[in-house]
Structure 1
Amino acid sequence: MILTYKTYVLEYKHPFGVSSNTRSSTTSVFIKLEYEGKMGYGEACLPAYLGETVEGTIAFFEKAKPVLIKHKFPFSATQIVEEIDKLSNANNPAKAAINIALHDLLGKLAGKPFYEVMGFSRSEPMATSYTIGIDHENVIEQKINEAAEFSILKIKAGTKDDKALINLIRKYTDKPLYVDVNQGWKNKEEVLDMLFWLKEKNVILIEQPMSTNMLNEMAWVTERSPIPTIADESVKRLKDLDQIKNCFSGINIKLMKSSGLTEALEMINYAKKNNLKILLGCMAESSCATSAMAQLMKFADYIDLDAPQLLKNDPFKGIEYKNGNVYLNDLAGIGVEPIDTLF
């Protein structure tokens, strides 16, 4: 297998605000794995809070090239993934890109979609949330109007006055909400009071309300919470789940954290065995990585796979959005094709 890569700046339709920062773009490094005329595609999306760099990601790809080039079809995806993972203790987005591209390539070599190669049925269409970042009132109103076809909205909280933010949202829509605090709240009693208030405002779940180093407080909140509490920043990979399983109601699995589809499936199995709810999420990925994650929708309680809808220069074609639902296509692999100018 021959690996090539290209850096690409994904630009948002609107500046994207969360509790800690606002950004207008995110860089991804896309890869192509080529074997006997077939191409598999992957993506390493690099939002700043992950602590990964373009330079470090490319260096990892260079390190992975000798591992990949020695394998011949039919190759063992499990063996390759294990070898790639041992190259570094970090670089999860880079590992995810290779994992995604590998499964895309395997599907294309077999002429089958990813889910069929893996031995499970195709996911039915599923409603995704549409994210409304922190912004000024007139822009929030515009974003809500742009999300008219979506039945669920995701609100980025952690502001100075989150009740005012939610009341502002309720001025324009009564749709169910996911609220993502991105570690923005500090006091467990105040958090619990807020969750009871949010439930009355038709909030379905809360993501990462408190800091990653406040697990005892989160366990206390979760035991009393009227709505599911979902771990995001507190969990990256499978090894993290034992520590947090009694602190949250569920987990947000993202390919850029989990190092790809292989471990995402392992995390799903763990969650089901331990009665944890499953939210499949994304960072700021294009249709490449988002389409890969969408292959696993059938296992999810909730999905937040709207990232391509927030971009104005998505370089891939993949999943389709209809009436706020995510639809898989019939293409082999993860179901994506790049625009002509990407590679």
Structure 2
Amino acid sequence: MTNRRDFIKNAGVLAGSGLIASSFVSCNAKQEKNLRSTSKMKLSFKPYNLQLKHTFTIASSSRTTTPVMLVEIEYDGFVGYGEAAMPPYLGESHDTAAKFLSQIKLEQFTSPFLLEEILTYVDGVDVGNYAAKASIDIALHDLVGKIVGQPIHKIWGLDASKTPNTSFTIGIDQPDVVKEKVEEASPYKILKVKLGKDNDKEMIRTIRSVTDKPLCVDVNQGWTDKKEALDMIHWLKDQGVVFVEQPMSKEKEKMDEIAWLSENSPLPIIADEALQTIHDVMPLKGVYSGINVKLMKCGGLLAAKKMMTIARALDMKVMIGCMTATSCAISAASQLSPLVDWADLDGNLLISNDVFEGMKVIDGKVTLSELPGIGVRKL
């Protein structure tokens, strides 16, 4: 019988091999040889603070800004862009990201196409720091795509027509502000509603007073009693909600309660805070209906794609999510969107000071471009 470690390893090899092989097939062999012999990768980074259009409130906190680290990797005249988006609950900051990135020595590698080798090295430099690691992963993928002149989704062989609609997030707020947010979200076909305080039904009723669009809800661990949670989910189903994200605590001692809730729920229960890296996926089988994969939590595109492969093998639903971020991180995550059931890729739409132009939402749908790499232009 295949053990857990072997399963993860094999799934990882399966998920990663398509990118590596396709990248090298697309790259002219003579060009690759010249690049190896004449160029070195140069990593640079700078801190930036995102300004949110509205105060962003979830069950446990509120904020008006998000710190990010903007990353560039230069190589043979090409520049790959990356980003670490670091909301406070991740435990990362400008200081921790700068300390981690300062330790990275990419010049030791002969080519950016050595993605598995480079990212294994990056992961081993220090524990944690997954958003910082994701910024390097994103920049490397962007760099590789620019060198071969293709977007990452094409290098992976993904069908851009199969992208889902993205939800637009409505944070917890007073009824008049909630209505304003819903109006701002008029181009979007599904809304993601933050719940978990004492006004959950008021939030839903307020939204339902102005729109009948499908909803999904994110409770951010805000509910504490499984039977009350189940009653609430039945009510939410009647209100046109399609799934529930992280209804109760992520802690291991609550897993039996979550499993009971998932078994009895009329709606899919999706893991968010309970999931971070590839090693967390398999233990969630039978506990949650699906997983929400976020680049900033798992370390980037390569890890996220592996996690999706494992989840599908376990017959679990897959969602791609995000933090509040610039169009750099959002466009990177969108390259994976043809693989998922649901997308929540609105982080760039919630800020007022984006420094990139990238993935567009057209008629509510994630729409991938033909731009190489992750598909962004720097403003």
Q: TM-score, normalised by structure 1?
A: 0.96
In structure 2, the residue matched to 1:141 is 179
Determine if contact 1:133/1:156 at 8 Å carries over to the other structure: yes
* Alignment check: 8 A CA contact 1:123 1:297 kept: no
Deviations 1:76-128 (A, max 9, x none): 11110111111111100000000000000001111111122234443544311
Aligned to 2:139: 101
Amino acid in structure 2 at the alignment position of 1:172: V
Q: CA deviation at 1:164?
A: 2.0
Q: What corresponds to 1:183 in structure 2? A: 221
* CA distances 1:193-221 after superposition (whole Å, capped 9, x unpaired): 11111100000000000001111100000
Tell me how far apart the structure 1 counterparts of residues 333 and 182 of structure 2 sit (CA, whole Å): 25
Specify the SS of the correspondent of 1:84: helix
Correspondence for 2:205: 167
C-alpha change, 1:228 and 1:323, in structure 2 (3 Å) is: same
Task: Call closer, same or farther: CA 1:125–1:239 in 2, change over 3 Å.
Answer: closer
Q: In the alignment, which of 71, 80, 91 is matched to residue 40 of structure 1?
A: 80
Matches of residues 125-140 of structure 1 in structure 2 within 5 Å?
125-140=163-178
Show the counterpart of 1:245.
Answer: 285
Match of residue 343 from structure 2: 303
User: 1:327 aligns to what?
Assistant: 367
Structure 2 residue identity aligned to 1:92? Y
- The aligned amino acid for 2:173 is D
Say whether the 8 Å CA contact 1:123–1:295 is kept in structure 2. Answer: no
Match of 2:153 among 90, 97, 115: 115
Q: Distance in 2 between matches of 1:192 and 1:15?
A: 29
The separation in 2 between residues aligned to 1:163 and 1:141, in whole angstroms, is: 14
Question: Residue 55 of structure 2 corresponds to which residue in structure 1?
Answer: 15
Q: Distance in 1 between matches of 2:327 and 2:83?
A: 9
C-alpha distance 176-121 of structure 1, shift in aligned 2 (>3 A): closer
Q: Which residue is 2:324 aligned to?
A: 284
- Equivalence map 1:57-76=2 (5 Å): 57-64=97-104, 66=105, 68-73=106-111, 75-76=113-114
Match of 1:142, SS state, is helix
Contact 1:149–1:324, Cα closer than 8 Å, also in 2: yes
Q: Kindly indicate whether residue 123 of structure 2 is the aligned counterpart of residue 80 of structure 1.
A: no
Give the match's secondary structure for 1:199.
helix
Counterpart code for 2:245: E
Q: Which residue does 2:188 correspond to in 1?
A: 150
Which residue, out of 269, 275, 287, partners 2:315? 275
Larger Rg: 2
What is the DSSP-based 3-state SS (H/G/I as helix, E as strand, rest coil) of the residue aligned with 2:64?
strand
Letter in 1 for 2:70: F
- One-letter code of the match for 1:141? K
Cα contact 1:236–1:257 (8 A) shared by 2: yes
Find the partner of 1:257 among 290, 294, 297: 297
Q: 3-state SS of the aligned residue for 1:83? A: helix
Q: What RMSD, in angstroms, separates the aligned Cα atoms of the two structures?
A: 1.1
CA displacement at 1:304 relative to structure 2: 0.4
- In the alignment, structure 1 segments of 5+ residues that lack a partner are none
Asked if 1:211 is matched to 2:254, the reply is no
Label 1:329 to 1:193 Cα distance change in 2 as closer, same or farther (>3 A): same
Query: Which secondary structure state, in structure 2, belongs to the residue aligned with residue 246 of structure 1?
Result: coil
Q: Which amino acid aligns with 1:139?
A: V
SS of match in other structure, 1:104: helix
Residue number among 26, 44, 57 corresponding to 1:4 in the alignment? 44
Query: For the Cα contact (< 8 Å) 1:130–1:153, is it kept in 2?
Result: yes
TM-superposed CA distance for 1:324, in Å, is 1.4
The answer as to 2:377 corresponding to 1:337 is: yes
* Corresponding position of 2:68: 28
Aligned-pair distance for 1:240? Answer: 0.7
Q: Which runs of 5+ in 2 are unaligned?
A: 1-40
2:94 — aligned with what?
54
Give aligned pairs, total.
337
